[in-house]
Chain A
Amino acid sequence: MVFEKNIHVLRQRDSILADEIIQAGQSADINISKSKSGLPTLRIKNIYVHSLYNPQKEAEEWVKSNEQIIASADNIVVFGFGLGYHLSELCKHTDKDITVFEPDPNTLKASLCARDLRSVLSRIKIVTDNAIPYFDGEIVVLTLPSSVKLFMNYYDHVLSRMKSRDIINQGLRIMVVGPVYGGSLEVARYCSSSLIRMGHTVELVDNSRFDETLFYIKEITNGKSHYNALVEQFTHLLSKFFLARCELFQPDIIIALAQAPVTTDCVERIRQYGVKTAYWFVEDYRLMEYWKHIAGSFDHFFTIQKDDFFKKMKQSGLNNYHYLPMAAFPDVHKPVDMFEDEKKYYGSDISFVGAGYYNRKHFFSGLIDHDLKIWGNDWDMRSKLAGFIQRSGSRIDTREIVRIFNASNININLHSSTYHKGVNPFGDFINPRTFEIASCGGFQLVDRRSNLAELFNVDDEIVVFDDLDDIRNKIKHYLENPDEAERIAENGRKRVLRDHTYEKRMEEMLDVIVSAGYESAYWKNDREPVKKLISEAGRETDLGTYLSGFSDQENINLTDIKDRISNEDGVLSRTETIFLMMKELTG
């Protein structure tokens, strides 16, 4: 009975956590017994978390001992929930915001079963993962040591992240580099918008303005060697644009999205300024092997796959990789109101949005006895699916995709495969569509992926299928039970808003970058005015004469001089030799 009352209050603040706690099991390691004062006390793995004699008095003394630091803070962070005695006392003592980190849902469940914690649960925010909330003002961290000891690695990690947050909260200059075209173009825009919202100064290098040139290169030659050479030249040019833009914007961090036209030379040049560089490889490594050539050039390489991919990268001598799944952008991927004619136009019993990959062509042929609409390009208009393909297979923009997700009773999400006839049984990563449909509040049936269950609670927030027979049964079930589908879709949307937005991903990315050791880039102090350098050297001296060769630039540094020497032919002068030696010595 106490548990239900507690859960009711918790649900009003955090329904996902409430469900997580309901689903948590009873651990044999957790033991609740009566203390000598008659109040319940908690023992985990044979270690007491609260006093066996008087947990209430212990909590009062805990608050008293922390009185001064509580008074000095705007936000109070507590590590360890225990049975919440210390939290009850803390809530009585202060009306400041309290955030409690507790990684173990079993402990939370035991606590909510043992004590009436409604007054605490209505006041505090509970965090069970690594997601550090953004705090306004000063933070103090109080600990329940006995509880912290049980999950030492978790709390060390959280603490390190919180320290990084101090730096991040001051606001960073971040440059986001997008591709010329392709799926990651939108991702770059979402990342950029999210970072701006988080308070950073952001420059988006939008290379989509060059897409016509790239398509033109494709048109003007049939020869692969010509095409490759031209694309390489074009990439070098765009990379130089990026470098020039960098020198003007002077970022602290650069985030390049998959296919961004940035050469490794440019990245290395930028890193010399102390700029932290990250690459988000939102690609399937099995299909796109260019990661081998670029991953090592960046400080951090974020991927949407792990396990086998990590093994491969490790074998390649890399250790800069981090898993960062795709996400949704709720400003765009959201529930929308539609007129009846719109609903009719975009809606159907079952729909699919995406390109006509090999596996999809096969798979959807088994669903043509349904009210099916297929949206997207690269479908065969001569196949038996032709009657189901909307607008003759033309591309669909994001605005319309959101409407389709909203209007369809069931959105089918089948990850692409070029060699399976249906579901890829070895599929691991989660495509953006999974998050986007959920963020729209759409109901989806998604093919089973090995990484899905850690991102969504299967059956409660999302429904998976394994093959054609399975999906046919599930389509029938959910068309007959729309309320159940609606409830799951709503849970899925809540989960995305809580955990799977681009803002969350950017938080995670910045936390990783800054936690790894961060100092501001030294753009500002590195270059000096050429005029000043000539004047100091003396205009008529060898050095002054040499430096006057840089008069076309306003400011230079040793790297600029070294680069120019490297690009010139002929015998080195004495001055040039000295500069190269200086560069060698200073690194």
Chain B
Amino acid sequence: MNEIKVETDQPEVLAAIKNSVGDARHVVRELAAVFTERIQPLRLEESESVFNDLTRNIYDLQGLLEFVMELKNGMHYFEGFGMPADPISADSNGLKLFNEMLTSMESRDWVMLADLIEYELSPLLLKEEEWLGDLDEKLKNY
């Protein structure tokens, strides 16, 4: 087990992270499932309802990205518990993908958007969920 080095003057940050990781895991799992549901409708139809649902989901995804950025900042205080960067933050993966998805949406390239969700976003969310699980374990042991 890695040695965890915590800056003791930031106990409220640690508490905030502890409290939110469980919720974040739930949100990521839910988002992964919801986005997976969007893949086929995107490939099969181009209706307003699909577009509206997707817009809502992307808004939620944006919220998750913001949370991950906050988490990243928070983790900085604990030197990451010795963990690698989370998959969404690493190399700005999440941000790049988010921008690609927005571009596809703007150009109404539904096939590309479905591809990004199926082959990039869903695996990324699953990895993120796994990473949050590891973090949760470490926080429990802390």
Contacts and interface: CB of A to CB of B under 8 A. Distances in A.
Interface in B96-131: 107-112, 114-115, 118-119
B43 interface: yes
Interface in A64-102: 65-66
Contacts of B112: 47-48, 52
B107 A61 contact: no
Which of A36, A65, A66: most chain B CB closer than 10 A? A65
A146 interface: yes
B109 A47 contact: yes
A155 to B, nearest CB: 12
A525 interface: no
Contacts of B44: 62, 65-66, 145
Interface residues of B, number: 15
Contacts of B40: 61, 65
Nearest to B113: A48
Nearest to A52: B115
A50 B115 CA distance: 10
B30 interface: no
Interface in A21-53: 36, 46-53
Interface string B22-45: 000000000000000000100111
Contacts of B107: 46-47
B110 A146 contact: yes
A98 B112 CA distance: 27
B53 interface: no
A157 interface: no
A544 B94 CA distance: 87
Contacts of A47: 107-109, 111-112
B108 A62 contact: no
Contacts of A66: 44
A5 interface: no
B46 A51 contact: no
A67 B96 CA distance: 36
Q: How large is the interface on A (under 10, 10 to 19, 20 to 34, 35 or more residues)?
A: 10 to 19
Given A61-B40, A65-B40, A50 B46 contact: no
A66 B44 CA distance: 9
Nearest to B120: A53
Contacts of B46: 145, 149
B82 to A, nearest CB: 34
Given A61-B43, A62-B44, A53 B115 contact: yes
A58 interface: yes
A51 B110 CA distance: 10
A32 B110 CA distance: 18
B43 A58 contact: yes
Given A58-B43, A62-B44, A46 B109 contact: yes
Given A61-B40, A62-B44, A51 B111 contact: yes
Nearest to A147: B111
B115 A145 contact: no
A147 to B, nearest CB: 10
A29 to B, nearest CB: 14
B46 to A, nearest CB: 5
A145 B114 contact: no
A235 B119 CA distance: 75
A90 B67 CA distance: 44
Given A52-B115, A53-B118, A53-B119, A145 B109 contact: no
B96 to A, nearest CB: 16
A376 to B, nearest CB: 58
B108 A49 contact: no
Contacts of A49: 111
A324 B115 CA distance: 45
Contacts of A48: 109, 111-112, 115
B109 A50 contact: no
Interface string A146-164: 1001000000000000000
A165 B107 CA distance: 35
Q: Which 6 A-B pairs have the closest CB atoms?
A: A48-B111, A53-B119, A47-B109, A48-B112, A145-B46, A146-B111
Given A47-B107, A48-B109, A48-B115, 20 more contacts: A47-B109, A47-B112, A48-B111, A48-B112, A49-B111, A51-B111, A51-B115, A52-B111, A52-B112, A53-B118, A61-B40, A61-B43, A62-B44, A65-B40, A145-B43, A145-B44, A145-B46, A146-B109, A149-B46, A149-B108
Interface of A: 36, 46-54, 58, 61-62, 65-66, 145-146, 149
24 contacts: A36-B119, A46-B107, A46-B109, A47-B111, A48-B111, A48-B112, A48-B115, A49-B111, A51-B114, A52-B112, A52-B115, A53-B115, A53-B119, A58-B43, A58-B111, A61-B40, A61-B43, A65-B40, A65-B44, A145-B43, A145-B46, A146-B109, A146-B110, A146-B111
